[in-house]
């Protein structure tokens, strides 16, 4: 039976991933107005950044600074002409001639934040220098505390979802039928059921409270990250409103409402001893929405192929919740009931519950494995990226932990349950098998919490396939210059590269370069360094035509700008090639 299940699961996974096209989720900058490094004679009405997909932003999503680092925009951010893939901000009137720097921090369709900027001159460059894009972006960061807080909120978010969904499934398909199959007429069985119900109410109540709190905190932290401010500063209504207008905010505020509704439904159920069948449907719908929110708020709802990614993510979260939540209830709730019973009765109840939960857990593991394989293939594609990227290493860590957890499940299914069955037949106490079951469940739950932490961390990183899809562009500091690099099409084969060097002080084209050298390496395949032919295309502009980058993977471009016989500046940029 298990072999047949594995074969069907593998065949299903292969069918899903066979025709899956490449995916792309992060917003990419296509152009700006004014153009970076340009000098305009007349003050523009606004500064505009143009992307390859609709983007959003809160207060401070686009900012413009003068050469002294003072903000000179009017703070009114909008998509010019209603174009949702453009974002601009107006300028204060009658600005003096000089150098101006604009930055952006916008929210992609996948809810991740991308940032960058441009430098332009109005009339002429400033004589007293300017401010760099990199320096301003660093100043606009929300801070490490906010980042760590967001990671913790994601972890607690997953934890609350698993407790609620797993708890409901455990109650319906393991506890109730298990209790009904072994329950005696003695009053202690009623005491055991009451103790279980009381512990269940406490755990589900904690999950509901936690779910509401982390949903609200998540909205504030997303606003803080997008605006580049602290958590306290994100309490500003304009930032909250901007976050709620975005997909992430909408999904998370609806989840907070869903949590409150689930709490009300469970309170109604708890208030009366008789069964209320009409509660089943709304509870199922509410739980299903909880399982779908990671997909709605993340990559899965916009990453191609959505028809595969969205249901795969939904099933992955649902199956994980059933498994983790069920183990949590076995370890934290079931003992409250067994302690009210005689030793032999404990064995019967423990066996009845474990035996019913074991096939549920087995089905959940199969679903997790299949959907995990599908998502890993779509998101990674290149085996080397499993070892060369943080995202890939986290995926590998989840795979290893899943294998260990499957080992724990095998112990429960093949060693503990048969021994409990023999003890139940002889009317004996759980004894050593019962202790082994408790230790095994403790180990499982501990590793599952680690997996939830890894999952929360994964959300913060872009999948390698996303980073490797389409043209690549970035900007960084190179000594006294701002370097802007674009690589097109960023795919295996010939690629064209454009490099722009802009004086970080005055925004003019950087013309002090004596020699610009670039080498390309692919460390994963031990290729390179390969020297690339650099052509001068004008002041501060360099072009590399037909750079052969093959095979795919994360290539490293080592760039050296020699400005005199004794001084040079170097940097290395990682470029994903799909």
Instruction: Give the mean model confidence (pLDDT) for residues 124-135.
Output: 64
Tens-place pLDDT, residues 19-41: 333 334 567 777 888 887 778 88
Question: Would you call 41 exposed, middle or buried from its count of C-beta atoms within 10 A (0-12, 13-18, 19+)?
Answer: exposed
For residue 468, what is the DSSP state?
T
Return d(Cα 200, Cα 341) in angstroms, integer.
18
Q: Which two tokens stand for residue 453?
A: 């932490």
Of residues 37 and 239, the one with the higher pLDDT is: 239
**Phi, psi (degrees; rounded to nearest 5) at 118:** -150, 160
Place of tokens 């501990």: 446
Residue 26: what pLDDT? Answer: 64
**Band of residue 469 on the pLDDT scale cut at 50, 70, 90:** low
Question: Of all residues in the chain, what percent carry a pLDDT higher than 90?
Answer: 33
Which residues make beta-bridge pairs with 106?
114
Q: Is the pLDDT of residue 132 over 70?
A: no
CA dihedral 208, 214, 215, 216 (to 10 degrees): 120
Q: Which two tokens stand for residue 207?
A: 């999950």
DSSP one-letter string for 309-357: HHHHHHHHHHHHHHHHHHHHHHHHTHHHHHTTS-HHHHHHHHHHHHHHH
Return d(Cα 127, Cα 551) in angstroms, integer.
47
Ranges 117-126, 147-156, 312-321: which has the least confidence: 117-126
Residue 9: what pLDDT? Answer: 42
Residue 192: what pLDDT? Answer: 93
Q: Which two tokens stand for residue 441?
A: 């469940």
Q: Which two tokens stand for residue 326?
A: 């069920």
Which residue in 555, 571, 572 sits closest to 464, CA to CA? 555
Residue 215: what pLDDT? Answer: 95
Q: Which two tokens stand for residue 3?
A: 């072999």
Of residues 376 and 382, the one with the higher pLDDT is: 376
Tens-place pLDDT, residues 313-329: 999 999 999 999 999 99
Return d(Cα 396, Cα 250) in angstroms, integer.
32
Q: Is the pLDDT of residue 203 over 90?
A: yes
Of residues 213 and 82, the one with the higher pLDDT is: 213
Question: Would you call 577 exposed, middle or buried from its count of C-beta atoms within 10 A (0-12, 13-18, 19+)?
Answer: buried
Q: How many CB atoms lie within 10 A of CB 21?
A: 10
Residue 20: what pLDDT? Answer: 37
Instruction: Give the mean model confidence (pLDDT) for residues 144-159.
Output: 88
Ranges 34-43, 111-120, 453-462, 527-536: which has the least confidence: 111-120
Which residue in 247, 230, 238 sits closest to 149, CA to CA? 230
Residue 539: what pLDDT? Answer: 74
Residue 21: what pLDDT? Answer: 37
CA dihedral 159, 161, 164, 166 (to 10 degrees): -80
**Band of residue 277 on the pLDDT scale cut at 50, 70, 90:** confident
* Contact criterion met (CB below 8 Å) for 153 and 145: no
Return d(Cα 259, Cα 199) in angstroms, integer.
19
Return d(Cα 97, Cα 122) in angstroms, integer.
5
Q: Cis before residue 34, ω within 30 degrees of 0?
A: yes
Which residues make beta-bridge pairs with 555?
575
Tens-place pLDDT, residues 539-548: 777 888 888 8
Return d(Cα 131, Cα 575) in angstroms, integer.
26
DSSP one-letter string for 543-572: EEEEEEE-S-EEEEEEEEEE-SSS-EEEEE
Q: Is the pLDDT of residue 141 over 70?
A: no
Ranges 74-83, 432-441, 500-509: which has the least confidence: 500-509
């Amino acid at each position: 039976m298990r072999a047949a299940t594995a074969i069907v699961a593998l065949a299903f996974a292969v069918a899903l991933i066979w025709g899956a096209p490449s995916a792309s989720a992060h917003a990419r900058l296509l152009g700006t107005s004014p153009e970076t490094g340009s000098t305009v004679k007349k003050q523009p009405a606004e500064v505009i950044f143009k992307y390859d997909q609709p983007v959003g932003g809160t207060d401070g999503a686009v900012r413009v600074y003068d050469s002294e680092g003072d903000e000179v925009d009017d703070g009114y951010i909008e998509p010019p002409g209603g174009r949702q893939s453009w974002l601009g901000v107006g300028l204060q009137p009658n600005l003096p001639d000089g150098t101006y720097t604009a930055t952006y921090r916008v929210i992609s369709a996948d809810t991740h934040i991308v940032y960058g900027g441009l430098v332009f001159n109005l009339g002429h460059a400033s004589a007293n220098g300017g401010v760099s894009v990199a320096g301003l972006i660093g100043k606009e960061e929300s801070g490490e505390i906010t980042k760590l807080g967001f990671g913790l909120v994601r972890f607690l978010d997953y934890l609350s979802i698993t407790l609620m969904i797993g708890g409901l499934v455990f109650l319906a398909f393991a506890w109730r039928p298990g209790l009904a199959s072994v329950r005696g007429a003695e009053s202690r069985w009623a005491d055991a059921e009451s103790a279980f119900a009381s512990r269940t109410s406490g755990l589900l109540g904690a999950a509901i409270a936690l779910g509401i709190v982390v949903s609200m905190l998540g909205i504030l932290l997303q606003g803080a990250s997008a605006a580049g401010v602290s958590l306290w500063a994100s309490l500003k209504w304009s930032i909250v409103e901007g976050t709620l207008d975005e997909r992430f905010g909408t999904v998370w505020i609806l989840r907070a409402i869903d949590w409150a509704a689930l709490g009300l439904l469970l309170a109604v159920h708890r208030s009366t001893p008789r069964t209320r069948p009409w509660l089943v449907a709304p509870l199922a719908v509410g739980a299903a929405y909880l399982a779908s929110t990671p997909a709605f708020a993340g990559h899965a709802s916009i990453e191609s192929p959505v028809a595969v990614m969205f249901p795969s993510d939904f099933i992955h979260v649902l199956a994980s919740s059933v498994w983790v939540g069920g183990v949590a209830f076995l370890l934290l709730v079931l003992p409250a009931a067994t302690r009210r019973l005689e030793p032999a009765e404990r064995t019967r109840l423990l066996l009845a519950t474990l035996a019913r939960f074991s096939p549920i857990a087995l089905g959940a593991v199969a679903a997790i494995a299949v959907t995990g394989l599908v998502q890993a293939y779509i998101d990674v594609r290149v085996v080397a990226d499993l070892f060369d990227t943080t995202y890939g290493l986290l995926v590998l860590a989840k795979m290893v932990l899943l294998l260990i957890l499957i080992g724990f499940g095998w112990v429960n299914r093949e060693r503990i349950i048969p021994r409990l069955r023999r003890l139940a037949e002889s009317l004996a106490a759980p004894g050593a098998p019962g202790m082994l079951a408790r230790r095994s469940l403790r180990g499982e739950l501990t590793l599952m919490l680690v997996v939830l932490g890894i999952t929360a961390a994964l959300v913060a990183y872009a999948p390698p396939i996303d980073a490797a899809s389409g043209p690549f562009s970035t900007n960084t500091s190179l000594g006294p210059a701002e370097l802007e690099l674009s690589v097109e099409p960023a795919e295996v084969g010939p690629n064209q590269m454009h490099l722009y060097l802009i004086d970080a002080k005055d925004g003019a084209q950087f013309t002090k370069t004596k020699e610009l050298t670039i080498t390309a390496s692919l460390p994963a395949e031990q290729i390179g360094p390969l020297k690339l032919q650099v052509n001068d295309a004008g002041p501060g502009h360099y072009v590399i035509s037909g750079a052969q980058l093959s095979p795919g993977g994360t290539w490293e471009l080592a760039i050296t700008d020699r400005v005199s016989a004794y001084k040079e500046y170097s940097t290395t940029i990682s470029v994903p090639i799909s």
